Amino acid sequence: MLWALPITAVALVGAVAAGLFARNVYGDVAQRAEPVPESSAAPTPEGDPPGTGRVALSEGARRHPDAETVQQLLQEHFDAINENKYYQWRNTVVRAKRINQPFEQWQQEYRTTEDGTVVIHRIVPGPEATMRVIMTFVSTQDPADAPKSMPAECLRWRVVYRIVPTSEGLRLGQGLPDSSLPRRCAEN
């Protein structure tokens, strides 16, 4: 029983040392992260809503090692929505999402949607090698095709998307609970 105390103490000291080492190597994410703008103030569309279709990276997001790959994935995803190309969209999401959103449902939900002014603010690690992408964008749609809780022609979104590594590369995962916050474009 006497040997248990020294082993526990050694394990505790080792865990603390590993944590300090990791913090020094990777830095404190909270200190490096750029603030995500309030949904009433951003994103601001360039020109008429929804603005440009180009997916942009904030300076903080650009520093992530997977930033370009994530940006390309989201560009393909939003292009597919804007061009009404379901089969292109399918290539950007995980299998479960494809199963849960078959062609007819996807067509109904996105038939009038146009997304733009997409800004990736942060890319942070998630559980099991996933990533979380914190972003904002503007969507325009027929109010009948907008979320039932907020039927509007123009919405500003603050969202967290889950990015999942698959055998085919990175893909957008199933939605996270309470990960999307819409606000009418006219609201301040």
Claim to verify: residue 73 and residue 160 sit in the same structural domain = yes
Q: 93 and 53: one domain?
A: yes
Domain count, the chain: 2
Asked if 12 and 101 sit in the same domain, the reply is: no
Tell me if residue 44 falls in helix, strand or coil: coil
16 and 64 in a single domain? The answer is no
pTM flag (> 0.85): no
Indicate if 66 and 19 belong to the same structural domain.
no
Token representation of residue 100: 């849960």
Please tell me whether residues 62 and 22 are part of one structural domain.
no
Q: What percent of the chain has pLDDT over 90?
A: 69
- Taking only the tens place, the pLDDT of each residue in 119-155 is 999 999 999 999 999 999 999 999 999 999 999 999 9
Predicted pLDDT at 47: 72
Using CA of residue 152, residue 158, residue 55, residue 93, what is the dihedral sign?
Answer: negative
23 and 104 part of one domain: no
The answer to whether 172 and 93 are in contact (CB under 8 A) is yes
Pair of tokens at residue 34: 């750029």
Q: How far apart are CA 114 and CA 139, in angstroms?
A: 6
138 and 63 together in one domain: yes
Q: Do 62 and 8 reside in the same domain of the chain?
A: no
27 and 114 housed in the same domain: no
Report the CATH number at residue 53. 3.10.450.100
Is pLDDT at 160 greater than 80 in this prediction? yes
Per the prediction, the chain carries an average pLDDT of 83
My answer on whether 18 and 40 are in the same domain is no
Contact 132, 121 (CB under 8 A): no
Residue-wise pLDDT for 67-120, tens only, equals 999 999 999 999 999 999 999 999 999 999 999 999 999 999 999 999 999 999
pLDDT of 7 above 80: no
Task: State which residues form the domain around 1.
Answer: 1-32
Identify whether residues 24 and 74 lie together within a single domain: no
